[in-house]
Amino acid sequence: MDHPEAKLAPLIHVAGTNGKGSTSSMIRAMLEEHGRNIDAYHSPHLVRFHERILINGRPISEQHLVAALEHMLARNDGAPITFFEATTATAFHAFEQFGTADHVLLEVGLGGRLEA
């Protein structure tokens, strides 16, 4: 995908064994309180898949999610890809295309060799 992270706003990468969701939420709340627009990628989602990808602090719209997913699948050209890789690539494309963020907040997902 030609390093989509290079086209994004400055990244804040949250990692660790426990508390990533809480830490991400706290960081996002602090930045938004100071007027910053935040794109974010979380996992897992609680209710709807759309919660994983936040554009300007709100869950990605159905229209934008479908467009980003279709773009990612077309770029992947049928190569083997895991669910987490597909989700991460979709999020990065969505941030690039639809976000106007001051920062992008990313949670580490699976970790290790399975991380995207």
Q: 52-101 pLDDT, tens per residue?
A: 999 999 999 999 999 999 999 898 888 898 888 899 999 999 999 888 89
pLDDT for 62 equals 95
pLDDT for 103 equals 95
> Positive or negative CA dihedral for 47, 49, 52, 53?
negative
> Positive or negative CA dihedral for 72, 78, 81, 84?
positive
Q: List, for residues 16-57, the tens digit of each pLDDT value.
A: 888 888 999 999 999 999 999 999 998 888 899 999 999 999
pTM of the model: 0.84
* Beta strand 103-107 pairing with 58-59: unpaired
Query: What are the domain boundaries of the chain?
Result: 10-109
Three-state DSSP class for residue 105: strand
Instruction: Report yes or no: 8 and 100 within 8 Å, Cβ to Cβ.
Output: no
